Amino acid sequence: MSPSQTPANSSLTPRSLGLIGLVAMMLAPTLPLVVERLPTLQSSLQVASIVATAAFGVLAPHGSSNVHYARTFLTRALPILLGFLAVLSLPHLVKRGLDLVLTILGVLCISPVLLIIAAAVRLDSKGPALYFQTRMGKHGKRFTVAKFRTMYGDGEARLAAVLAADPALAREYATFHKLEKDPRVTRVGRVLRKYSLDELPQLWSVVKGDMSLVGPRPYLERELAEMNGKEAIVLRATPGLTGMWQVSDRHKMPFEGRVRVDVKYVETWSPWLDMSILARTFAVVVRGSGV
């Protein structure tokens, strides 16, 4: 029986649906790539379906109560999953799996810390505890990232006044896209930035698949125009909560240096590189050498 001849009342068991849902959640960030390569995968999927059906016909006992369930899984679900796996290499699958496991465990462990930080931000200055901003993700997909608010509500007005009054600071901001002594940053914000604690809400973006634990910096859309064509390389990867730039001498690195480091990460990526960056990130946080 071909896939098109499968009985209309046949369906997957809840257990099978749960398995497919879990795999789909893990692989969801690769969907645009799957769609892009679908024409070249079509023949492979057809072959997989035919082989699965033939194998079932030989191995499954006739009259089995699981006939419809098994045939539906083999001829419909399995080829789809094989299509995903054909696009997603094993190292990237491991990366996504580790992102989910480590992030969920981390959030469970630090939930009280998150609540304390949120309260401190609210008590220190007027405004919400979280700050939301649109960033550029993999393949140029826009997504919303959350951080603990580290600036005053009128921060942009404060910055404009300082840059207008001090040409040296204006040059520093033009070069680094930040100031060492930023007038926009609150007292609690300075502590959060020093230990990179303002980044913790981004763990939710990792769970959703918009970000990874390790990757290039999530850039603003307006920054892409300043990347001299390198944005195409950087946007090949999922942006990270931490990365090579964060564990480098970032205080002295101009914007083009950050881009160069992110390009190097994308072009030389390996699971071992991610593990090294995570270990170095821990040391940076403990030393309090964040921005």
The two tokens of residue 93 are 């699958």
Q: How confident is the model at residue 56 (pLDDT cuts 50, 70, 90)?
A: very low
In this predicted structure, the answer to whether residue 29 has a pLDDT above a threshold of 70 is: no
In this predicted structure, the answer to whether residue 245 has a pLDDT above a threshold of 90 is: no
The two tokens of residue 18 are 């749960």
CA distance 58 to 71: 12
Q: What is the pLDDT of residue 52?
A: 46
Structure-token match 């007038």, residue found: 183
pLDDT tens column, 172-184: 777 777 777 777 8
pLDDT tens column, 70-112: 555 555 555 555 555 555 566 777 888 899 999 999 999 999 9
Structure-token match 């083999």, residue found: 74
What average pLDDT score do residues 35-62 get? 48
Encoded amino acid at 57, one letter: G
What residue spans define the domains of the chain? Answer: 3-88, 91-150+185-287
CA distance 253 to 102: 30
pLDDT tens column, 102-138: 999 999 999 999 999 999 999 999 999 999 999 999 9
Number of separate helices (H) and strands (E) present in the chain? 12, 4
In this predicted structure, the answer to whether residue 3 has a pLDDT above a threshold of 70 is: no
* Buried-state track 75-85, b at ≥16 Cβ within 10 A, e below 16: bbbbbbbbbbe
Structure-token match 């679908």, residue found: 38
Window from 1-10, 37-46, 67-76, 233-242 with minimum mean pLDDT? 1-10
Pairing of strands 212-214, 240-242: parallel
pLDDT tens column, 208-239: 999 999 999 999 999 999 999 999 999 999 99
Q: What is the pLDDT of residue 35?
A: 47
